[in-house]
Amino acid sequence: MGSRAESDIDAMRTTRPLEEMGIDLNDNTESFLSRCIAAQSFADYLTDSDTDTENSTLPPSRRWVWYCKLPGCPKYYSAWTCKTNFLLHLYETPMHREDDNTKTRESRRTLARSWRKETAYDLSEPKETPPQHNDSQVGNT
């Protein structure tokens, strides 16, 4: 990294005013943020949540959403954009607590990987709908 990028990184690590750090806020050639992105140092300062970690494997315009795909669950085919909240749903919902696939933390994480779907980052793509079942699969009522 060049000295400019290093000073940008130092600026992000401190509470001192940017001017004191030697960051020229009037430099219109490129923004402080774009320089950080170019240096790929900004990722060190984002929250390191499960969601951020998962989404970092996708292009910037894409993200993961997690669907509850357990038939009979009150939140069947609801979607979560935050993996931690989805894992909390699996942990707190009685139906999931009784399911052998969600008894341990590792099994919940494995299930989350298999139930996630890629979508547009701005969530502009239509939400997935539950699969259609014919009467012989569901039973006649």
Q: Transcribe 1-15 into DSSP letters.
A: --HHHHHHHHHHT--
pLDDT value at residue 52 = 82
Q: Indicate whether 72 belongs to any domain.
A: yes
pLDDT value at residue 132 = 83
Closest CA to 111 of 101, 125, 100: 101
Q: Indicate whether 23 belongs to any domain.
A: no
Strands 62-67 and 116-120: antiparallel
Q: What mean pLDDT do residues 29-53 have?
A: 58
pLDDT value at residue 45 = 47
* Tally of domains in the chain: 1
Q: Indicate whether 102 belongs to any domain.
A: yes
Q: Hey, how many other C-beta atoms are within 10 angstroms of the C-beta on 30?
A: 11
- CA-to-CA separations, 105 to 3, 85, 91, 112, in angstroms, rounded: 44, 14, 9, 11
Which residue segment(s) compose the domain that 62 sits in? Answer: 41-120
Q: Indicate whether 2 belongs to any domain.
A: no
Tell me what the pLDDT averaged over the chain comes to.
76
Q: Indicate whether 95 belongs to any domain.
A: yes
Higher pLDDT, 29 or 69: 69
What sign results for the dihedral spanned by CA atoms 85, 88, 94, 99?
Answer: positive
Q: What mean pLDDT do residues 66-78 have?
A: 94
Q: What mean pLDDT do residues 4-19 have?
A: 59
Q: Indicate whether 35 belongs to any domain.
A: no
Percent of the chain with pLDDT over 90: 35
